[in-house]
Amino acid sequence: MCRIVRDRTVKGMEPRSASDTRPPVDDWRRRLSRLFRTVTPTQWAIDVTAVVVFAAVSFVTMASLGEVSLAFASVTVALMTGALLLSRASPPLALAVAWIGALWQVGTTQPPMLTNVAIFAVLFATAAYGSRLVFWLGFASAFVGALIIAIYLTVAPLWGVPGSPLTAQTAFAALSGFIAALFALLLSWTLGALFRAVFRARDDRRAQREAEERAAAEEERGRIARDMHDVVAHSLAVVIAQADGARYAAAVDPAAATDALTTISQTARSALADVRLLLTQLRHRQGDGPQPTLADLEQLYGQVRAAGVDLRVDVDPAPPGTPPAAVQLAVYRILQEALTNALRHGDGGPVEVSLAWLPDRVVLGVRNVVRVEARATEPGGHGVIGMRERAQLTGGRLDAGREGDAWIVRGEIPIGPGRIDG
C-alpha cells in the first residue's frame, strides 16, 4: 500500500528556485531611481511653471485644428507636456513619452501642433543630461523622427487618393522636408551636446582644483608630520639619555644629576613649544610659524653634547652667504634626525658631523658606531624616509646605511636653482 504525502507550504513562503531571477522590490526601486537625475527645488519650480504655461497655450491653440478630435489632441498635448516636464529630471523617460505622443499623433492623423515644440526640448535634454546610451538614442531619434515627419507630411496624404501617384515633385518635397526637419531636430540635440561639453569641462576643472587642494593638504600634513617626528624623536632621545645619566650619577655626583635634570627640563619645554606651534599650524593652515635655521644648529649640538655624546663638528668651507630658508631647514632637520638616531643606536663613542658649503651645494655627513645589540636591525625607520624626503623636496639626495660597524648618513642639497641628479 503506497502512501502519498503532499508537500504543503504556506502561501507566500514557497522557496525560490535557482531559475527564479525575479529581483526584489529594493532592486526595482534602485533601477528606477537610476532613471532620474538630482534636480534642485528651484529647477523643479522653473520646469513646472514653464510646463503649466506651455500646456495652457497648447490647449488654447487646439481650437484652430478644425475637424480634429479634441479628445485625441488633448492626449497628444498631455503626452508632450509630460515629456517636457520630465526632460530635465529623467531624459530617458522624457524621450520615451515624447515618442509615444508622436506615434499617437501620427496614428490618429493629427496635423502638426504647437505642442510638438516639446520634442526639441526633449532632444536637448537627452544630449545635455542623458547617459551615454540616452545621448546616442537622442541622436538616432532625430534621424528617425525627421524621416517620419517627411513621410507623414508629404507622402502619407497621397496614399489612397485615386490618380495621385508619387511623382518626382513629391519625392523632392519629401527630401526637402526630411532635410529641414533633420536640421531643426539635430540643432536642438547639438545645442544640448555643447551644453554637456561646457558643464563637463567645468566639472573637470572643479575636480582638478579639488584634487590639487587635496594634494596640497596632504603635502602640508606630511611636512607637519615630519616636523613632529623630528621634534618629538630628538627631544625624547635627549630626555632619555639625560634621565639614564642622572639615575646613575645621583648616588655619586648629585651635581651632575641636577645638571641632567636641568637639561631635561629645558629640552622638554623647547619640545612642548615646537609641538604647540605644529598643532597651531594644523588648526590654522595660514601663517606658518618660524622654522629652524643654521643659527639654531649650535643649540642642537649643545643638546646632543649635554646628553653625553662626544660630538665632533667639522664645517669646511663655511657658508659663503645666507643660504635659502628651505636649504637651512632641510639641513637642520636632517642633522636633527641623524643625531637622534646616533643617540638612540650609538655605542656612546664619538659622533662625527661634517658640513661643506660649496658654491652650488652643501654636502653633509654624519657618522657614528652602532651598538652591538642594535647591529641586527636597521636604524632610522620613518626617520630615514623623512630625511630622504626632505633632501628630495629641495632637489637633493640622501643616502643612509651601515658600513661595517658604523652608520653613515651622506647627503647633498643644491643651493642654487639646479637639481642634483642621482
pLDDT digits (tens, 9 = 90+) for 142-181: 999 999 998 888 876 665 545 555 667 777 888 888 999 9
What's the confidence (pLDDT) of residue 381? 57
As to burial, measured by CB atoms within 10 angstroms (0-12 exposed, 13-18 middle, 19+ buried), residue 2 is exposed
In the predicted model, is pLDDT for residue 383 greater than 50? yes
Residue 19 — very low, low, confident or very high, per pLDDT cuts 50/70/90? very low
**What is the residue whose three cell numbers read 551615454?**
132
Q: Quick one: three-class SS letters along 154-190?
A: HHHHHCCCCCCCCCHHHHHHHHHHHHHHHHHHHHHHH
**What is the residue whose three cell numbers read 517620419?**
148
Grid cell digits, residue 20 = 527564479
In order of their start, the domains of the chain are: 37-211 (no CATH), 304-422 (3.30.565.10)
Grid cell digits, residue 408 = 653613515
Express as a percent the part of the chain with pLDDT over 90.
28
- The span from the CA of 302 to the CA of 305, in Å, is 5
Side-chain half-sphere CA neighbours of 231 within 13 A: 21
